[in-house]
Amino acid sequence: MGPMMDLIASSVEVAADVPLWSVPSLIALFALTLMEIVLGIDNIVFIAILTGKLPAEKRSFARRFGLFVAMGMRILLLMMIGWLMSLQSPIIELSSLAPIESLREHLAADAEVNEISGRDLILLFGGLFLMFTAVREIHHKIEGEHDDDPQMDMDLPEADAAVKSRKPVTVGSVLFQIAVMDVIFSLDSVITAVGMASHLPIMIAAVVISVGVMITFANQISDFVQEHPTVKMLALSFLILISVVLLSEAVGTPINKGYVYFAMAFSLIVEFLNLRMTKKAKLQHAH
């Protein structure tokens, strides 16, 4: 995951075999909380995009619901560690399905690609679902459909009757999509936490604290995304990038997440500079 992630992981591993109530355990709690927040960025971006399609008065509830479900899902998975670890055991080998001998030998030579586990199938479904959602939203934006503000559709001319007739987005459908992706993101997050620490209370506390931090800033992040169309398009692009990461893990060729997070951070910095330049230009024209 990159140097920062390795540093966090090493600090947790050092504290893995120490007593629960000790300074090293507190260090492990802090490190795991930081890790959970970093891993939760994907979830926040997805929730911000989906809740943006709801009426303004319902967005805050949907965001909190999504994050609370994510917290509950992660705690539940932590308490089912045995079952969770079984998901990483192979359930089928692609080489056994290959019709050609040379292909079977090629697949058998790479266990990561050849062996398919329950976790791989879940990540595959999640990656495809996330990519479909992101591409659909980008299509809506390019076509000029204002599903993030239902009231805007009422102001469109008669020629846009097709857009007006489009069914409004319901709270139930948004909450369902959030819940589905919560399962995917929680799975990856919990597997990382289980591999980094041995004390269940520390892992649960880290999840609760990290979700509390994300809830605190979720509204500000989501409102910022909604207020700036270019940032929203960038966020949708991030979702496609995240879906590619999930799919790459599913097929046994994982992409280093450190590179992905660096690319996302660099893109945001450039976008913030553009927004600041645009704001300054508007102020100069106003004078």
Output the pLDDT for position 21. 65
Higher pLDDT, 103 or 127: 127
Higher pLDDT, 140 or 112: 140
For the cut 50, the answer to whether the pLDDT of residue 47 exceeds it is: yes
Nearest-5° angle of CA 206, CA 208, CA 210?
A: 65
Q: What average pLDDT does this structure show over 204-212?
A: 87
Output the pLDDT for position 85. 67
Output the pLDDT for position 270. 92
Q: State the pTM of this model.
A: 0.69
Tell me the CA distances in angstroms from 175 to 48, 89, 110, 170, one per residue in order.
12, 31, 39, 9
Calpha distance 157→163 (Å, rounded): 10
Output the pLDDT for position 266. 92
Average pLDDT in the chain: 76
For 213-226, the pLDDT digits (tens) are 888 888 888 888 87
Q: Map tokens 């990540």 to a residue.
A: 123
Q: What's the number of domains the chain is made of?
A: 1
For the cut 70, the answer to whether the pLDDT of residue 10 exceeds it is: no
Q: What average pLDDT does this structure show over 138-146?
A: 74
Tell me the CA distances in angstroms from 204 to 69, 219, 259, one per residue in order.
14, 24, 28
Q: What average pLDDT does this structure show over 107-134?
A: 79
Q: For residue 249, give its domain range.
A: 3-286
For 179-191, the pLDDT digits (tens) are 888 888 887 677 7
Q: What average pLDDT does this structure show over 22-51?
A: 80
- Among the residue ranges 13-27, 49-63, 90-104, 253-267, the one predicted with the least confidence is 13-27
For the cut 70, the answer to whether the pLDDT of residue 103 exceeds it is: no
Output the pLDDT for position 108. 66
Rounded to a whole number of angstroms, the CA Rg of the chain reads 22
For 58-79, the pLDDT digits (tens) are 888 888 888 888 888 888 888 8
Q: Map tokens 């909450």 to a residue.
A: 175
Calpha distance 70→244 (Å, rounded): 21
Q: What average pLDDT does this structure show over 41-52?
A: 84
